[in-house]
Amino acid sequence: QMKINYYPKCPQPELALGVEAHTDVSALTFILHNVVPGLQLFYEGKWVTAKCVPNSIIMHIGDTVEILSNGKCKSILHRGLVNKEKVRISWAVF
């Protein structure tokens, strides 16, 4: 399954949220991106923006792996933000 997210430029990004906080039900999620920051992970009680490395694929663990590992591997809470200056696009493959 694939989900394409399109986040238009937003002059006031602090007033908008692209995708609300969630975990993925899948085992693994692979995210291709257009090198515009906006993916945030909830880590140690705060939101951290993931680095956008050119020509990279972001991978994170979903709920299925957390269940199969009996909680040893945690599903990551994440969200998507809009950008003030650039269009952001991500392709999530589950």
Q: Which of 3, 9, 74, 84 is catalytic?
A: 3
9, 22, 74, 84: which one is catalytic?
22
Burial of 82 (C-beta count, 10 Å sphere; 0-12/13-18/19+): buried
Whether 3 is a known active-site residue: answer yes
First to last CA, the chain: 5
Residues known to be catalytic: 3, 22, 24, 78
